[in-house]
Chain A
Amino acid sequence: MASVRFDNVTKKFGEFVAVANFNIEIRDKEFLVLLGPSGCGKTTTMRMVAGLEEATSGDIYIDADRVNDVLPKYRDVAMVFQSYALYPHLTVEDNIGYPLKIRKVPPEEYTRRVAEVARRVELETMLKRLPKELSGGQRQRVALARAIVRTPRVFLMDEPLSNLDAKLRTQMRAELKHLQHELQVTTIYVTHDQIEAMTLAHRVAVMNKGVIEQLGTPREIYNDPRTLFVAGFIGSPSMNLIPGEVKDGVFASAGLRVGGAGRFNIPRAVLGVRPEDIHVASAEDPDTNLVAPIYSVELTGENTLVSLQLGGQLLAVRADKNFSGQIDQRVAVRIARDRMFLFDAETERRVDIQSNS
């Protein structure tokens, strides 16, 4: 059980800055997800905790111990690799028991613990097999078992679900969450999949270009994005981001005018609104913001995703599952004013319109 702290950590590969001035404290027993696109430095950050990469500057602490110069074997962390990294020449049993063998755990305890963990991940019948004889999901569970066979101070998971098919991924996601709750071990989890981040995390750190864009609970990240990047990255389908101009609190772009932006004047602004916060209305409704032709209609089952042609871009609207519009038909929509965000395109930061109106 441990906390992990990054204190002004920077990691450079040659001239390339992978992680810049990174500060975060991961609390004891917390499930923290590092979320970001590939190349944003999230995996590098995790590898620095494992000791597989050295920080160029700054300090990394596990509990009160500064671990910058501590060899990986003394850090007592366990890691699940994206590729699983199972030892191909060892059986499932030897794979799971490897960390115990290295620590010279006595044979009776070794057998007992391996059997116990194998039961937990439902691999007890597979112990004598080689990794190549397992399915993807089983390999994933071996990797997980190898991590939990000892009780490390910190779990590190590098996109552990990304090689699984969609159905298995959903199932393993729930299992992972349950497991972490049961074991109560501090976990750092790297992913580029925002659904995984939202569902698993206690807190999410959204990273971009080596810096944290925003750190908060999944709910905060979703409901209260601080930057244009976070707004665009979180949510599926992603938030509509419409470039335009704000004059005296009224946002205007080609074909769209929305008031309610206080008394702001922003020459280059971006309006952000999630598809579920745009509602189909009737053309007579005085609150209608926009009437536009339908570009496509996609029924997802629980609702209908409607794309509207708005100037040069598409506006995604999440409509009722009984929505019956056809392509090219014009529909009127209303934007929920209290659920829209305004960003300054220069700084890419959000402009707080709610408190200023």
Chain B
Amino acid sequence: MATIRTRNRSREMLLRFAAYLTILVALILTLFPVYWIAANSFKFDIDIFAVPPEWLPRNPTLKHYDEAFVQRPFLRYALNSFLVAIGTTAISVTFGTMAGYALARFRYPWQWRKQISFWILSTRMMPPIVSIIPLYLFFNYFDMLNTKSALIIAYTAFNLPFATWMMKSYFQDLPVELEEAAIVDGDTRWGAFLHVALPLARPGLAATAIFCLIISWNEFLLSLIVTLTEQSQTLPIGIAGRVTQYATYWGEISAAGFMACVPIVIFAFIVQKHLVRGLSLGAVKG
């Protein structure tokens, strides 16, 4: 008789333990910086560099929040970041969705679907920094330096290829029969897109929106070059501005940095439930 391997309980326990340990290490690696920023934002300057490190603020203070958001214009920066990110996300998702749908569904002569898709993606193949000087000259020419619109235009240009590709792949995953059924049922192509494809692509819309939001919320380099005024600068520039010739204001940087994480986390929580895939399960096949 062949040897039959039985369940080995201790082996299974060990494997499970190893899995949790891996997760724990990954969590520490990703969450520690956030924790450290949060902790520092509530400490007095002298405690930030205490040796041994002060893991939890012994004398918590809101001093740095007052400095950043009351005495310095970080609220203004946050508002700028917010408007730019929302504008960029709205435009990128709208056009990315329509372009993605067109690339996923329409018929193209020869290999044009491939060529156009590739061309769209290829605009992202050079490092964005290469385009910064042309963009600066461009915005200067149109008198758009130091405006939020300039940032929205530039960020949309960066985000749109990705948004298009992401939505394209979501639409390609949807069974085409659903839209065909809508068309035969009496809907127009546009109606089938609106009533059937779009609601089913909701996870894709959520993912694409988060992606665009994070990219534009965090963007630094372009904003640094194109905006110089308080009315137009975004949070990352504001935060970087606290590294000055004479001192680095770690407390303010921590306070502003910690607050900068909050909106994205909230947004991610809101759209999370739409990210659940599998809504189209049960549409096709019995």
CB <8 Å contact, A136 and B283: no
State in angstroms the CA–CA spacing of A79 and B186 once bound together. Answer: 11
Say whether B284 faces chain A, with CB atoms less than 8 Å apart. yes
A103 contacts which of B182, B186, B199 (Cβ < 8 Å)?
Answer: B186
Please encode chain A, from 55 to 97, with 1 for each CB lying within 8 Å of some chain B CB and 0 for all others: 0000000000000000111000111010111111100000000
CB <8 Å contact, A81 and B177: yes
Closest A residue by C-beta to B282: A132
CB <8 Å contact, A88 and B185: no
State in angstroms the CA–CA spacing of A71 and B185 once bound together. Answer: 12
- B48-93 CB contacts (< 8 Å) to partner A: none
- B197-244 CB contacts (< 8 Å) to partner A: 199-200
A87 with B187, Cβ < 8 A, contacts A132-B281, A164-B286 known: no
- A136-188 CB contacts (< 8 Å) to partner B: 136-137, 139-140, 146, 156, 163-164
A77 contacts which of B184, B199, B284, B285 (Cβ < 8 Å)?
Answer: B184
CB <8 Å contact, B191 and A79: no
State in angstroms the CA–CA spacing of A72 and B192 once bound together. Answer: 12
Closest A residue by C-beta to B191: A102
B284 contacts which of A71, A72, A83, A103 (Cβ < 8 Å)?
Answer: A83
> A218 to chain B: which residues have CB within 8 Å?
none
Total A-B pairs, Cβ < 8 A: 88
CB <8 Å contact, A83 and B175: yes
Please encode chain B, from 165 to 199, with 1 for each CB lying within 8 Å of some chain A CB and 0 for all others: 00000000001011011111111100100011001
A88 with B200, Cβ < 8 A, contacts A81-B177, A163-B285 known: yes
> A88 to chain B: which residues have CB within 8 Å?
178, 200, 279-283
State in angstroms the CA–CA spacing of A52 and B187 once bound together. Answer: 13
> A137 to chain B: which residues have CB within 8 Å?
286
State in angstroms the CA–CA spacing of A146 and B177 once bound together. Answer: 14
State in angstroms the CA–CA spacing of A137 and B284 once bound together. Answer: 13
Say whether A98 faces chain B, with CB atoms less than 8 Å apart. yes
Least Cβ distance of B245 to chain A in Å? 58
How many residues of A are in contact with the other chain, CB < 8 A? 35
CB <8 Å contact, B283 and A81: no
CB <8 Å contact, B286 and A87: no
> A249 to chain B: which residues have CB within 8 Å?
none
> B199 to chain A: which residues have CB within 8 Å?
89
Say whether A131 faces chain B, with CB atoms less than 8 Å apart. yes
CB <8 Å contact, A87 and B184: no
CB <8 Å contact, A85 and B282: no
> B175 to chain A: which residues have CB within 8 Å?
83, 85
How many residues of B are in contact with the other chain, CB < 8 A? 25
B186 contacts which of A102, A132, A164 (Cβ < 8 Å)?
Answer: A102
CB <8 Å contact, B284 and A85: yes
State in angstroms the CA–CA spacing of A211 and B199 once bound together. Answer: 40
State in angstroms the CA–CA spacing of A102 and B195 once bound together. Answer: 10
B184 contacts which of A79, A131, A135, A139 (Cβ < 8 Å)?
Answer: A79
State in angstroms the CA–CA spacing of A65 and B182 once bound together. Answer: 23
- B152-171 CB contacts (< 8 Å) to partner A: none
> A244 to chain B: which residues have CB within 8 Å?
none
> A102 to chain B: which residues have CB within 8 Å?
182, 185-187, 191
A73 contacts which of B180, B186, B280 (Cβ < 8 Å)?
Answer: B186
CB <8 Å contact, B286 and A85: no
CB <8 Å contact, B184 and A50: yes
Say whether A99 faces chain B, with CB atoms less than 8 Å apart. yes
> A292 to chain B: which residues have CB within 8 Å?
none
CB <8 Å contact, B185 and A130: no
State in angstroms the CA–CA spacing of A140 and B115 once bound together. Answer: 40
State in angstroms the CA–CA spacing of A263 and B211 once bound together. Answer: 81
A140 with B286, Cβ < 8 A, contacts A73-B183, A85-B180, A88-B200 known: yes
> A139 to chain B: which residues have CB within 8 Å?
282, 286
CB <8 Å contact, A163 and B286: yes
B188 contacts which of A73, A98, A132, A140 (Cβ < 8 Å)?
Answer: A73
CB <8 Å contact, B184 and A83: no
Closest A residue by C-beta to B286: A136
> B185 to chain A: which residues have CB within 8 Å?
78, 98-99, 102, 146
Closest B residue by C-beta to A103: B186
A79 with B280, Cβ < 8 A, contacts A87-B196, A103-B186 known: no
- A300-345 CB contacts (< 8 Å) to partner B: none
Q: Which of A78, A81, A88, A137 has the most CB of B within 10 A?
A: A88
Known: A52-B180, A88-B281, A99-B185. 15 other contacts (CB 8 A): A52-B183, A52-B184, A73-B183, A78-B184, A78-B185, A79-B180, A83-B175, A85-B178, A85-B284, A87-B178, A87-B196, A98-B182, A98-B195, A130-B282, A146-B185
13 A-B contact pairs sorted by A residue (CB < 8 Å) = A50-B184, A51-B183, A51-B184, A73-B186, A73-B187, A78-B184, A81-B181, A83-B283, A84-B284, A102-B182, A131-B283, A132-B283, A146-B181
Interface residues of chain A, those whose CB is within 8 Å of chain B, are 50-52, 71-73, 77-79, 81, 83-89, 98-99, 102-103, 130-137, 139-140, 146, 156, 163-164
Q: Top 9 nearest A-B pairs by Cβ distance?
A: A136-B286, A132-B282, A85-B181, A163-B286, A83-B284, A85-B177, A88-B283, A99-B185, A102-B186
